[in-house]
Amino acid sequence: MIAKKTKKTVVELRIERPVKASNNEKKSELGITVKKTDNFSEWYTQTIQKAELIEYTPVSGCMVLRPYAYSIWETVQDFFDKEIKKMGIKNAYFPLLIPESLLKKEQEHVKGFNPEVAWVTHHGNTKFEEKLAIRPTSETIMYDSYKKWIRSYRDLPLRLNQWCNVVRWEFKHPVPFLRTREFLWQEGHTAFASRKEAEKEVADIRELYARVFEELYAVPVLKGRKSETEKFAGAVYTDSVESFMPNGKAIQGGTSHLLGQNFAKAFDITFLDKNGDKQYVWQNSWGFSTRSIGVMIAVHGDDKGLVLPPRVAPVHVAIVPIMFSNKPAVNEKILKMAKKLKNELKSLKVELDDRDEYSPGFKFNYWELRGVPLRIEIGPKDLEKDQVVIVRRDTGVKEAVPINEVVVKSIKLLGDIQDNLFNNAKKFLQTSIEKVTSMNDFRKVIKSGKIAYGAWCNCKECEAQVKDETGAKTLNIPFEQPKVIGKCFCGCDKKAEKWVYFARSY
């Protein structure tokens, strides 16, 4: 499949080299030139490029993850990997290329993915006898092995995860992180002897995804079950965590699917139970991706660029010595104090910005753009007072701190920043949800860029009608359900069955 060339906004990063410590220093073009609330798309594009998170490539929808972004992913990987291993899940790796015959074994599954599959058809000038799909997800290639490995109840549960990339050619206008044709993710694939065991894992993984977003990214989520229309192709049901961004769009954060026995029957994955009877296994699959980084950027970023939660920040503290060309002796003492402080903060990720070709003001902007949670400034007056100035990225608040209290203070402030970012995001989410009782209410809420929360008949026809009329679709059906009284808000005259979240989404 050949990608169509699409226009993309390219923002040139021009770094000036300002004269050091000049009072009338020209503002560098390092910073963001638009306000987030005025033009979210342009703000987002500038932020991810100028903060050196991504680079575009000649293939539309396929991006380079630069070290600063990949470091965030590594932190999330490390947390998630440790948690699933506590559950008894092991890592493995399966091939990128999937024979067409395997992909087509579960018809509902292949129907759901067919439009977005990229195919390999040749090697050199020779055409393959059978097309090979570049994995959009790995159920089919993995389950071909599972049927060979599972024979008895003693082989169960089989619980594997893989960290890999996938390709989905599913859209026209890629958005880095949020909608890309190739992305990194983890995908878990497990098999159990009983539905009860499988369902417990579905819930456990869903809650783990919520922890990743809320505890690491400081992004609150809506937990619930997908509608029949929106569930994973081939699944019995899908649980999800959903996020909401300041541009008025929701986005799916992670999904955990009860596959039931659909794939087991398609791939003949059976086992002999304790009574010697042949049974089909119960299966799950679950995954989340580098999309989560984009959600974090969108939720927390401000007009100066990134605002990173400390638990995922590649750098916790940037130390900026404020030195002057006419005070070499003082500069030497300032730099000595800065190096000593960096060593004392060794339990944190610290950068000492002692570049002499840039002014302090430039450096302040540089680290603010990259979202570093804390900046420590040390100048001649601070040296005299045996103190430093600590600046919070989330609030901009500055505080003079005695040098012997900096370590304790920094650790406390990082905890405060993590909590503050989550609380602000949670308040935003809560104020973005509005209850609706009619289609008129619904249209107003969606038009205002918010989430509509309404009592719905759980009918596919109404769901499709709402999407056609407003562009909004179901996010998920929350597990905590208030009492449902009356008819569907859509005006279809059917009895309402479930409270559900609707919004425009990626």
Give the CATH number of the domain where residue 130 resides. Answer: 3.30.930.10
**Do 278 and 396 belong to one domain?**
no
Confidence band (pLDDT; 50, 70, 90) for 114?
A: confident
Do the Cβ atoms of 496 and 459 come closer than 8 Å? no
What is the DSSP code (8-state) at residue 28? P
**Do 439 and 488 belong to one domain?**
yes
Query: What is the per-residue pLDDT across 381-425, written as a single tens digit (0 to 9) for each?
Result: 999 999 999 999 999 999 999 999 999 999 999 999 999 999 999
Max alpha carbon distance in the chain (Å)? 88
pLDDT value of position 29? 63
pLDDT value of position 11? 31
**Do 150 and 120 belong to one domain?**
yes
242 inside domain: yes
31 inside domain: no
**Do 252 and 355 belong to one domain?**
no
pLDDT value of position 104? 85
pLDDT value of position 122? 95
How many structural domains comprise the chain?
A: 3
97 inside domain: yes
The helix or strand, by DSSP H or E, that contains position 90, with its residue range, turns out to be: strand 90-91
pLDDT value of position 3? 38
pLDDT value of position 26? 41
Q: In the 3-class helix/strand/coil scheme, how is 221-268 assigned residue by residue?
A: CEEEECCCCCCCCCCCEEEEEEEECCCCCEEEEEEEEEEECHHHHHHC
**CATH of residue 450:** 3.30.110.30
**CATH of residue 344:** 3.40.50.800
pLDDT at 124 over 90: yes
- The proportion of the chain whose per-residue pLDDT surpasses 90, expressed as a percent, equals 87
Strands (E), 115-213: 118-123, 126-134, 158-167, 182-192
Query: What is the per-residue pLDDT across 472-489, written as a single tens digit (0 to 9) for each?
Result: 999 999 999 999 989 999
pLDDT value of position 106? 72
**Do 270 and 384 belong to one domain?**
no
43 inside domain: no
- For 485, the domain range is 433-503
In DSSP terms, 159 is beta-bridged to 190
**Do 338 and 362 belong to one domain?**
yes
pLDDT value of position 156? 98
404 inside domain: yes
Structure tokens that stand for 405 in this block: 């209290």
Average pLDDT, the chain: 92
Query: What is the per-residue pLDDT across 1-38, written as a single tens digit (0 to 9) for each?
Result: 333 333 333 333 322 223 343 433 444 467 999 999 99
**Which is nearest to 358 in space by CA: 11, 21, 67?**
21
**Do 179 and 326 belong to one domain?**
no
Give just the sign of the alpha carbon dihedral 288, 293, 294, 296.
Answer: positive
Query: What is the per-residue pLDDT across 45-101, written as a single tens digit (0 to 9) for each?
Result: 999 999 999 999 999 999 999 999 999 999 999 999 999 999 999 999 999 999 999
Helix (H, G, I), strand (E, B) or coil at 33: coil
